[in-house]
Amino acid sequence: MNATRATSHTTGDAPAYVQALLSRALDAGLTDLYLIPDRDGLDLSGRQASGARVALDRLPAPFGAQCVARLKVLAGMLTYRTSTAQDGAIHGIDGHPHAELRLATLPTCAGERVTVRIVQGQARPPGLDDLGFAAPAVAAIRRLLQHPAGIVILTGPTGSGKTTTIYAMVRDLLARGHSPATLITIEDPVESALEGISQVELRRDDPAWGYAEALRAVLRHDVKTLVIGELRDREVTRVALDAALTGHRVITTYHAGDIGGVYARLLHQGFEPFQVAAAVTGVVAQRLLRGRADGAPVPVAAVLEADDAWREVVMAAPGLGDLRRRAGAVPGADLEAAARDLAAAGRIDAKEAILL
């Protein structure tokens, strides 16, 4: 990776340097790039699929700032806005037309820090059957999508593949005859183009156009399936739950850790147990674990399909511990059990399942 110095910062050509850096990161199969500033310059490092960090380069502060600005241009960010966080995406670069690079900036005392999440694109975008989940989990997700109304929530750590799963769910709906005209997404930012779909992109530089505002606007249209990038706050969650209860299929993500945590957080936010029980069709929890053979990520998923028995559990408004225990007893909804199955099959080390 140090060969990125071939288009060196000594030339002062930031666009060429950034192009070489991104190309070589993709060629090397890195999953993330980190540009971290300090008082004297900018440290560049990457993360391999195994999780190992690798040092890439060290740039002088002025040239480092030029490279950060170049990345922001490519990702559609505002280069002059350096005191607030921004998100953006780069859709393909020379030699890697299908790659998706998701950028996030963070203002620090030493300058802007940049994280680039790298998604190695495919000529054919992945469907549900291509995600690597166990067959019962894929079948359960498809059953959730058969419900014409209700909210399907995906949860898991940052970088666990939730957005990739959502896009695969959308493609599955389209393949099964869903009209593109009645499917709308709200994303921050749009991370992958879906042909024929109305994709609404939010920007942090426009406080008057957030999730809540976009969601209300979208619901004035003839939408049957609504994809919401994230239930970011209580107001967005309230509108999403109402949409699910009024005949819309909603697919979204929610930071809660696990299946029990999703329900516990919804209840903690003050939503009525009957509202949560009636609106939530199911929850998908997913992780990426380190593979035993080569350290490559191995996906694992657990799916809870809400039935009447589970809705009765939610209606009683139990605490987090009880929710986790009761969810783990539902067939297919125990993420640790799914990870243990992977360990038994030799795909991951047993300690990976314990670390969940």
CA dist., res. 338 & res. 203, Å (int):
37
Cβ atoms of 280 and 236 closer than 8 Å: no
89 and 223 together in one domain: no
112 and 203 together in one domain: no
DSSP code of 270?
T
73 and 153 together in one domain: no
- The model's pTM is 0.83
Which pLDDT value is given to residue 13? Answer: 92
Segments forming the whole domain that contains residue 106: 2-119
Burial class (CB in 10 A: 0-12, 13-18, 19+), 187: buried
Pairing of strands 249-253, 150-155: parallel
Which pLDDT value is given to residue 9? Answer: 57
210 and 299 together in one domain: yes
Which pLDDT value is given to residue 272? Answer: 97
297 and 250 together in one domain: yes
68 and 160 together in one domain: no
Q: At what angle do helices 211-218 and 234-245 cross, to 10 degrees?
A: 20
CA dist., res. 212 & res. 240, Å (int):
9
- CB count in 10 Å sphere of residue 224: 16
Which pLDDT value is given to residue 212? Answer: 86
In CATH, what number is assigned to the domain containing residue 235?
3.40.50.300
Residue 92's SS3 state is strand
Decide which of 95, 119, 143 is a domain's last residue.
119
Percent of the chain with pLDDT over 90: 74
102 and 152 together in one domain: no
- Could you tell me the CA-to-CA distances from 241 to 142, 278, 293, 298 in Å, in that order? 21, 9, 42, 32
Cross-strand bridge partners of residue 96: 93
Spell out, as residue ranges, where the chain has pLDDT lower than 50. Answer: 1-7
SS3 breakdown of the chain: % helix, strand, coil, rounded to 5? 40, 25, 35
Decide which of 60, 89, 119 is a domain's last residue.
119
Among left, alpha and beta (phi > 0; psi -120 to 50; other), residue 63 is alpha
149 and 61 together in one domain: no
Q: For residue 282, how many C-alpha atoms fall within 13 Å in the half-sphere facing its CB?
A: 23
Decide which of 119, 143, 178 is a domain's last residue.
119
| Number of domains present in the structure of the chain | 2
CA 160 to chain centre: 7
- CB count in 10 Å sphere of residue 43: 17
Per-residue pLDDT tens over the stretch 62-102: 999 999 999 999 998 999 999 999 888 898 888 888 888 99
Per-residue pLDDT tens over the stretch 111-152: 999 999 998 766 567 899 999 999 999 999 999 999 999 999
What length does the chain have? 356
Rounded to whole angstroms, the maximal C-alpha distance in the chain is: 67
179 and 310 together in one domain: yes
Cross-strand bridge partners of residue 304: 283
Which pLDDT value is given to residue 205? Answer: 64
In CATH, what number is assigned to the domain containing residue 87?
3.30.450.90
Which pLDDT value is given to residue 239? Answer: 94
45 and 163 together in one domain: no
310 and 163 together in one domain: yes
111 and 140 together in one domain: no
Q: For residue 53, how many C-alpha atoms fall within 13 Å in the half-sphere facing its CB?
A: 8
Burial class (CB in 10 A: 0-12, 13-18, 19+), 246: exposed
